Amino acid sequence: MKIKVGFGFDVHQLKENHPFIVGGVNLEHDRGAFGHSDADVLLHAICDALLGAANLRDIGYHFKNTDPQWKGISSLILLKESVRLVQEKGFEIGNIDAMLCIEAPKINPHIPTMQQNIAEAAGISVEDISIKATTNEQMGFIGREEGVVAYAVCLIQRS
């Protein structure tokens, strides 16, 4: 059995009076992530982990931020497409482990819904998705609530 591991990272600037979508959940906050798509930092990191594990380059290669077809698109669609590409290479997802680094708002109450959204988009069990969150202890651009960061790792295996 061939097993591969992928790592993903994403960062987005936070802007006032902008939607804040993380893990497919619209969070109530005075600032939101800014980007070409819906700027879902968590899903972008997961897409990069999956694509990287399958040696399919990165999210920017497949979903260019200069292409109007991706403008404002839900990152759940980008995740579904990334999973499709991984499956086309003969792999299935074993698990996903992700970490958000964000000062506010609190993420814990939203984790079950995020897991469900990711499970549905990726076609895997909620039990195979771990999401954690931490702050940056008020240091740096994260601590000043100027940006948000997500990291993800995944395991894929030949199906």
Binding residues for a divalent metal cation, by number, are 10, 12, 44
Euclidean distance between CA atoms 129 and 42, whole angstroms: 12
Separation of CA 105 from chain center = 17
User: Which parts are annotated binding residues?
Assistant: 10-12, 36-37, 44, 58-60, 63-67, 134-137, 141, 144
